[in-house]
Structure 1
């Protein structure tokens, strides 16, 4: 049966250990993007190489989450957390020691991919440990701390990356080593005990889902490099989706599947994953786009661009705690709907003020947008895992994280296209207004819009005023899209979720757990 929640301060020591463990995975989602210009310059990387220094991590993280969740449930959660921390830390050290020369590009991309695998093994196991060590009525508050602190570190990444890059870009990888050491120490002290369920690994299912997610995410990632008109983009995405459909059919006929697809028959689990998928179109991309906006339109340094996101982080963390408490008291529907609405309003107001080029007029919009995301993300994620308690927590977490990362990749691709398209149109008009022939203006705008990501990070004096204004208008379009996306999430949550606390249902499901599980005591 499932391990009984422990009592006393030891639960919070376990929680602290798991937060430190997953902190590295959240920080690395955004910290590298700040250092990209320095990495490319020092290592002489190609444009494709530097793109993959960012994308390889996100791709393997998305592709192997389901595997990590299943592995945690069958081998043992604590074992997988420790293994994931060690893999992640070792890969981080290797990234920091990337040699200069012809080997640099392959070395950095390869170890970034290994980082992603380590994170995919670690995260589902860590969340499962937190869930199993807290009683159902306390999970909202506990996971509010987990997601609030760990998720907020996504916003800390650019801040930390900006300051570390001023010393050396290699430090953005080395910073993971002391975090990993603290995590391992806390795990040794807290000795979390969880339940595991030995079962054969479904390698056929693993090959199908990893290939399907990797191919389609690859297509999304390459869309801004190759362009949506390139047939290879559609082919990659279509092939990936087809493999995922085959995976679902095969899993239905597999005795010990990687994922029990019947889990999606649980209404709340399916709806919460849909809400999470929609909101993730916004949550990770907002850090990339707002960082570029701060550097290009506001002319901030990379460090100050990170501080820009701290306002989002402040709103996120505070509202996350409120949303978690509301989940424990009233159920998930109210905080999820309220959070989606607040986020939609926040992004809408932020979009309206983005073209002022003054952060003072935007800061409360940013706080409100962050608060909305924090208010809904913790209850939605917690409710999804709780509702799936008849199945295993690691497996359920692997599913939710696969959905979240898949959607984040799609959001980056689609919203990135919106940004570039709008920027190109604005730049063409600006260049024509300055007397450039239309055909030449179109060509020059296309060139400028392709190199815009490398235009920030310096003084605003180095960026033409018309470019700053045009980039602000392009960012405004993205923020309006984000507002619309969160409004859709609010409608889905309003229609799909049912009100009320789930304690009675979840308690029955807990009692229905198989009795063959053994305590995970490595």
Structure 2
């Protein structure tokens, strides 16, 4: 039986456009704020910790509330939750842009950045659930390739747009979300997407456990570069968070109406796709951060120039995501996921070999190749994972996959960030010693330079040896990324089965909690 829902005769493409505009804000905000950090810190007189949390608070709450957003969409209604998420996100964006100067500034912007994350977390699973229910199983690969391709490409738009908007005022990077939200709400009203949902009580005990577990462990990952891994507080936060997630799993297995039916992980394809997504997200989001730094420090580009460097990555990403979606529809997820991981591994490996040349022209095709690998595997892996859920649990499945993705991205940023700092500091120390700087002073200066690297940009103020040393640190990171993508390819090759998923396989996994309703059993529609 087809898993599609008739949207009242209205164009499914209009529904798709509405959902793309809805989630566009969340993708843009993953990268746009980092470009304006110096201006925000200067005008609001924020501490270094405060400005870091102006960036991290959004990512933290986004990761912590995805599971809640997915469950809420499946029980309250996808369209209703998308609208609520858009409104919350837009209102929080407005208030971020209105941050007052003075003693309230730091608390104000951090709080409303966190509220933005909550809005995005409830919006995204609901939006993806609408797209999945609107398109039949055999058409989802193509539809979601466009969804992820366009929306994902907006991640690269963030730095470019942010670079230009901050020349006017940094506040505009938040206000730009308002017209996008208005367009999204208008398109939702016009398309009126129809989906089915299943009313059920909310598992607030499970919600408290997963929010605390994800938030505490992600907080530990994020603080690792400030506290360092040698600080017991870092390990304690991560360990406590992981312990709470173990408790969450055990509690959910015994709960009548759980936040997440953990039995879905007994579906091998769902488990493997989430493993692949988790492994590759150690690379995907961190790449934006490290590539942006390399472009500004190693290549001496401006903030907007760094955005163009990332745009080349998305040239490959957007094109290959369309190919990956069509391969999924024609032959299943295994081929595009494995091929995409292999291409990504090769692309990052070749790119790593060129970054120390400090020549952007020599890197172009390797950046495109790395992006193509990511684009080819990301859409099929995400789509195939969600397809394994019941049509009444698409929001929940999306919440799970997005939690896995964001959790892994935080881990990747923390671990790779530590490696990058250590490698950069070592190279700078060696360079300073070679210039005759005494060992003790060389170590101190290298440490200060490595820790302040984010604020160092502009070709005129960066000595050549600093640019070269940072490029060597970046080379190490890209080699590690190539290895991670190779591991993902191996997991996908041996873990995924060949062939198309059968329509009748789209059902609740056995033992996944209370009995799910079968299609057509009276589940409410919006």
> TM-score, normalised on structure 2?
0.97
Matches within 5 A, 1:281-320: 281-320=282-321
User: C-alpha separation between the residues in 2 aligned to 1:515 and 1:278?
Assistant: 38
Where does structure 2 lack aligned partners over 5 or more consecutive residues?
A: 509-515
Is the 1:163–1:303 Cα contact (8 Å) retained in structure 2?
yes
1:314-353 superposed Cα distances (whole Å, 9 cap, x missing partner): 1000000000000000000000000000000000011000
Number of the residue aligned with 1:43: 44
Number of the residue aligned with 1:494: 493
Number of the residue aligned with 2:371: 370
1:400 and 1:507, CA in 2 relative to 1: closer, same or farther beyond 3 A? closer
1:441-499 superposed Cα distances (whole Å, 9 cap, x missing partner): 1111111100001102x3x0111111111011111111011100000000000010000
SS in 1 for 2:170: coil
1:323 and 1:8, CA in 2 relative to 1: closer, same or farther beyond 3 A? farther
- 237-246 or 149-158, larger mean C-alpha shift: 149-158
User: C-alpha separation between the residues in 1 aligned to 2:71 and 2:148?
Assistant: 21
Q: Cα offset for 1:389?
A: 2.6
1:364-417 superposed Cα distances (whole Å, 9 cap, x missing partner): 010000000000000000000001236600000000000000000000001101
1:114 paired with 2:110, answer no
Q: Cα offset for 1:7?
A: 8.6
Matches within 5 A, 1:103-502: 103-389=104-390, 392-456=393-457, 458=458, 460-502=459-501
1:472 and 1:7, CA in 2 relative to 1: closer, same or farther beyond 3 A? farther
User: C-alpha separation between the residues in 1 aligned to 2:167 and 2:481?
Assistant: 32
How many residue pairs end up in the alignment? 518
User: C-alpha separation between the residues in 2 aligned to 1:269 and 1:390?
Assistant: 15
User: C-alpha separation between the residues in 1 aligned to 2:9 and 2:472?
Assistant: 52
SS in 2 for 1:166: coil
1:167-223 superposed Cα distances (whole Å, 9 cap, x missing partner): 111111010000000000000000001001100000000000000000000000000
Q: Cα offset for 1:42?
A: 1.1
2:524 counterpart (504, 514, 518): 518
- 83-92 or 508-517, larger mean C-alpha shift: 508-517
Q: Cα offset for 1:5?
A: 4.3
User: C-alpha separation between the residues in 2 aligned to 1:30 and 1:515?
Assistant: 43
User: C-alpha separation between the residues in 2 aligned to 1:357 and 1:324?
Assistant: 35
- 161-170 or 233-242, larger mean C-alpha shift: 161-170
User: C-alpha separation between the residues in 1 aligned to 2:324 and 2:53?
Assistant: 36
Is the 1:3–1:193 Cα contact (8 Å) retained in structure 2?
no
Q: Cα offset for 1:440?
A: 1.3
Where does structure 1 lack aligned partners over 5 or more consecutive residues?
A: none
Q: Cα offset for 1:8?
A: 7.0
1:274 and 1:118, CA in 2 relative to 1: closer, same or farther beyond 3 A? same
User: C-alpha separation between the residues in 2 aligned to 1:435 and 1:159?
Assistant: 40
User: C-alpha separation between the residues in 2 aligned to 1:502 and 1:284?
Assistant: 29
User: C-alpha separation between the residues in 2 aligned to 1:261 and 1:485?
Assistant: 27
Q: CA RMSD in A?
A: 1.4
> TM-score, normalised on structure 1?
0.97
1:318 and 1:100, CA in 2 relative to 1: closer, same or farther beyond 3 A? same
User: C-alpha separation between the residues in 2 aligned to 1:483 and 1:227?
Assistant: 25
User: C-alpha separation between the residues in 2 aligned to 1:263 and 1:5?
Assistant: 27
